[in-house]
Amino acid sequence: MRAFVQVDLEAIALNIAEVKRRTHCPILAVVKADAYGHGLVPVAITAVSSGATWLGTALLEEALTLREAGIEVPIIAWLTPPGEDFESALKQNIDLSVSSVALFQEILGVAKELKIKPRIHFEVDTGMRRGGVLDEWDAFLAFAVAERDNYSLIGFWSHFARADEPAEKFNQIQEAEFAKKLDELKSVGLEPEMVHLSNSAATLSRPTAHHQMVRLGIGMYGLSPDVKAMGPAAQYDLKPAMTIRAKIHLVKAAQAGDAVGYGGTEVVQRDTKLGVIVMGYSDGLPRTTNNSAGVYFDGRRAPLVGRISMDQCVVDLGPDTTAEAGDYVTVIGGDGYSIDEWAAASGTINYEIVTRIASRVPRIY
């Protein structure tokens, strides 16, 4: 196996247990994007067995996959544009989020034909200007009231834009807008069963936003929502679940002054040995990563040298390395470079590092 992702399911279970100690609310485990690159079904099963009582996906096909795997807990899919397979969703008892009258109408139309009462969550835009009802709120409310007997109002929710910046005043503004919209919903006689607002950042830092359920995403995988603003995951007793290992394809001597890789963007500063690692940007390693990331072998770090290629990258193993072709190195995690370090070295966030690891890299649990 040239490269693989090792997923520590026990770490995910421990992270859920830690969050359960921090909130009185049920936990919705967010397993969208193939469980943030960790593997949809294995992570979902672990989350449920570890105390999560709900699962959340962005895409409907993800939710359907969970049902096909025999998972029976409530599942919400919240990114379902018009024209999706709502018939399958309703037959599989999947909760659907609506953010517009048009989408609401379409789902109810399918539900009436099937004689099924759909489980619906209303998403409102409280300031992020992404998902959620905004300018048609009054019309949305009127439609919701008129059709009240044709659906079950399970949830009312929104999403923070800056909860990973706990001191940001905009969080208070969003909480206030959320409360206002909830009051307006109740004033027309609509009472949701579950009110949920908190993502991982708010779950860890804003108890006032926990309401009746929290949505645990990045924290479940042992990563901080924002290392700079909130500190590292270890500060919250969370443990990263992902480690990536890959083989060395070739070890070769290089001399000081040698240029490495496409464009010759980096020059070796000493006589050393280079290792060619069989992972590249087609596997999900960001091409833009600089030499403040690399791999770990035999008790030492080996920084990247030059640009990451499609299927491989080059590292400086040091002049006295014992590495040989066929040896495994740790690319991410363990005692080596962390996910956060790779994110910083490539100018992105830890979310992107884990979710972009390609499906051609096998997951081992």
CATH number for the domain that contains residue 266: 2.40.37.10
Residue 23: band (very low, low, confident or very high) from pLDDT cuts 50, 70, 90: very high
The answer to whether 117 and 150 are in contact (CB under 8 A) is yes
Task: Tell me the C-alpha distance between 297 and 332, whole Å.
Answer: 11
pLDDT value, residue 87: 98
Cβ neighbours, 10 Å, residue 138 = 10
Question: Mean of the pLDDT values across residues 181-186?
Answer: 98
Shared domain check, 43 and 107: yes
Return the bridge partners of 301, or none.
296
Provide the annotated active-site residues: 32, 262
The answer to whether 319 and 271 are in contact (CB under 8 A) is yes
Cα dihedral 61, 62, 64, 69 sign: positive
pLDDT value, residue 176: 98
Question: Mean of the pLDDT values across residues 151-172?
Answer: 97
Task: Tell me the C-alpha distance between 95 and 90, whole Å.
Answer: 8
pLDDT value, residue 155: 98
Question: Mean of the pLDDT values across residues 30-37?
Answer: 98
Q: Is residue 3 part of a domain?
A: no
The answer to whether 321 and 315 are in contact (CB under 8 A) is no
Return the structure tokens found at 204: 């860890």
Return the bridge partners of 96, or none.
77, 120
The answer to whether 332 and 353 are in contact (CB under 8 A) is yes
Domain count, the chain: 2
Shared domain check, 320 and 180: no
Residue 90 sits in a domain of what CATH number?
3.20.20.10
Distance spanning both ends of the chain, measured CA to CA = 15
Q: Could you give the 3-state DSSP secondary structure of residue 316?
A: strand
Cβ neighbours, 10 Å, residue 145 = 12
pTM tops 0.85: yes
Residue 89: band (very low, low, confident or very high) from pLDDT cuts 50, 70, 90: very high
Task: Tell me the C-alpha distance between 340 and 227, whole Å.
Answer: 8
**DSSP letter assigned to residue 4:** E
Cβ neighbours, 10 Å, residue 262 = 11
Shared domain check, 41 and 145: yes
Q: Could you say which of 223, 251, 286 is where a domain stops?
A: 223
pLDDT value, residue 219: 98
The answer to whether 224 and 154 are in contact (CB under 8 A) is no
Shared domain check, 182 and 90: yes
Per-residue b or e along 24-54, where b marks 16 or more CB atoms closer than 10 Å to that residue's CB: ebbbbbbbbbbbbbbbbbbbbbbbbebebeb
pLDDT value, residue 232: 96
Q: Is residue 112 part of a domain?
A: yes
Task: Tell me the C-alpha distance between 232 and 360, whole Å.
Answer: 29
Quote the domain boundaries for residue 339: 242-364
Question: How do residues 296-324 score in pLDDT, each as one tens digit?
Answer: 999 999 999 999 999 999 999 999 999 99
Shared domain check, 215 and 96: yes
Residue 79: band (very low, low, confident or very high) from pLDDT cuts 50, 70, 90: very high
Question: Mean of the pLDDT values across residues 62-86?
Answer: 98
**With pLDDT > 70 as the criterion, what percentage of the chain qualifies?**
100
pLDDT value, residue 4: 98
Half-sphere exposure of 6 (CA within 13 A, CB side): 16
Amino acid at 266: E
Shared domain check, 261 and 198: no
Q: Is residue 234 part of a domain?
A: no
Shared domain check, 302 and 218: no
Task: Tell me the C-alpha distance between 161 and 108, whole Å.
Answer: 30
pLDDT value, residue 68: 98
Residue 108: band (very low, low, confident or very high) from pLDDT cuts 50, 70, 90: very high
Q: Tokens 């924290």 sit at which residue? A: 219
Q: Please, what is the average pLDDT of the chain? A: 97
Half-sphere exposure of 109 (CA within 13 A, CB side): 10
Q: Is residue 251 part of a domain?
A: yes
Shared domain check, 217 and 68: yes
CA-wise closest residue to 246 among 325, 331, 358, 307: 331
For residue 276, give the H/E element and its range. Answer: strand 272-277
For residue 142, give the H/E element and its range. Answer: helix 137-146
Question: Mean of the pLDDT values across residues 78-87?
Answer: 97
Question: Mean of the pLDDT values across residues 188-200?
Answer: 98
